[in-house]
Structure 1
Amino acid sequence: MTHVISRVRRIARTFLRSAADADDAAQLGLLAILESASSYRGEATVEAWARRVAVRTILRYARQQRREGAPVAPESAIDDEIALAPHQPPFEALPREARAYLDELPEAQRTAILLHHALDHSIEEIAGMTEVSPDTVKSRLRLGIGALRKQVRQDLAVGRKRAS
């Protein structure tokens, strides 16, 4: 648990705006890991398996919060996760913050992009976490990235400047 707790907290902060909700989701994720420990088959590292269990639990919690009208789409956690991504683009060149663009995407596309690009999960891992086929994940990534590019191009075309 000590090896995955910080990662589980980061994942929860990525998907939930409220610090209290993120803490609740992280705690639920950690409990799910403990409850599922007997199902670990050794096909991946313990850390990778635990992250998958936690992400599934956190995504369920975030969906439940959305249905209940709780605020999601974090203020700064998305930007923090993207900044930690291995191949980050030059965000200072964007007319708006990355979070603003991501907030405009449909939830499924936003989730796929965050899991893949910010949290560095594979297509197969995301498919398992979100309970859809790998082709669906690929489609969501392709459509989401296309929508992000379109938003940036539109902002550049109208001359939108980054707020200071």
Structure 2
Amino acid sequence: MTSPVRLVPVDYAALDDNALVAQVRSGQREAFRHIMQRCNQRLFRIARSVVGEDAEAEDVLQESYMRAYNKLDTFRGDSTLLTWLTSIVLNEARGRLRKRHTMVGLEQIDAAPDDTHHVIRFPSKFGNEDPAVSAARAQIRHLLEHAIDELPEAFRTVYVMREIEECTVEETATLLAIKPETVKTRLHRARRLLRTSLQGTLAVTMSEAFPFMGQRCARVTEAVMARLDLQVGAR
């Protein structure tokens, strides 16, 4: 009598991105959960840099993940999976901005002198009184997020990609379809505006800006998985 075949559970966390893509293509939707969990932080930050609001950025992520899942067969590996997903998120986020009819012409932004845009100035509350307190750091991060929100969208997206997500100039230029020199110019102006607002004291909290882990990460991931279940059930 032949013994039953025992299926070995897949250790998705140990797989690289290309292996995860292969798993999804073979019908393993659980692998897509791990793709989302790996990419959520960066993609949320970039979506939010465009639309400027948490809830809508989450919606952008959900729609982008659904698009990505349904067109995963078109991913050829010419770029990294994260870069490919970033381009989808940017397209979705920008499409929403176009529907608002509030976008300022990028040529006007790039050609304008540095002092035509103003960031709301936040008063310094902490100084050297209590720099080690975690609550103070959280408040400073909150100020940083608000100051970034006040940047013009074209500057804000470049700033988030270069300074927070540490994308290269070349990657940023490619994803935003602008020249590398334009990336450098917008980043320079964004820094000047933020220095005016925040007085250059927030570098230590930069990596903690716009957190996406914990409940928010789980909420988006579970929502997309539920939608994928419904999509498969409808076929």
Check whether the contact 1:16–1:62 (CA below 8 A) recurs between aligned residues: no
Check whether the contact 1:102–1:148 (CA below 8 A) recurs between aligned residues: yes
- 1:63 counterpart (86, 97, 122): 97
Tell me how large the CA RMSD over aligned residues is: 3.4
What residue is the counterpart of 1:117 in the other structure? 163
Cα 1:121–1:35, aligned 2, differ >3 Å: closer, same or farther? farther
- Number of equivalenced pairs: 132
Q: Give the TM-score, by structure 1 length.
A: 0.61
What residue is the counterpart of 1:128 in the other structure? 174
Q: Computing the radius of gyration over CA atoms, which structure comes out larger, 1 or 2?
A: 2
What residue is the counterpart of 1:103 in the other structure? 149
Check whether the contact 2:52–2:149 (CA below 8 A) recurs between aligned residues: no
For 1:98 and 1:22, the matched residues in 2 are separated by 18
Check whether the contact 1:52–1:125 (CA below 8 A) recurs between aligned residues: no
For 1:33 and 1:57, the matched residues in 2 are separated by 12
Cα 1:52–1:18, aligned 2, differ >3 Å: closer, same or farther? closer
For 1:5 and 1:36, the matched residues in 2 are separated by 15
**Runs ≥4 residues deviating over 6 A:** none
What residue is the counterpart of 2:53 in the other structure? 17
Q: Give the TM-score, by structure 2 length.
A: 0.45
**Quick check: 1:37 aligned with 2:68?**
no
Check whether the contact 2:48–2:57 (CA below 8 A) recurs between aligned residues: yes
What residue is the counterpart of 1:52 in the other structure? 86
Cα 1:112–1:95, aligned 2, differ >3 Å: closer, same or farther? closer
1:104-134 residue CA offsets vs partner (Å, 9 max, x unmatched): 3211111111122222322222212222111
Structure 1: 5+ residue stretches without partners: 70-89, 154-164
What residue is the counterpart of 1:2 in the other structure? 33
Structure 2: 5+ residue stretches without partners: 1-31, 104-135, 200-235
Q: Match of 1:2, as an amino acid? A: R
Identity %: 24
Q: Offset of 1:43 from its aligned partner?
A: 2.8
Three-state SS of the structure 2 residue aligned to 1:42 is coil
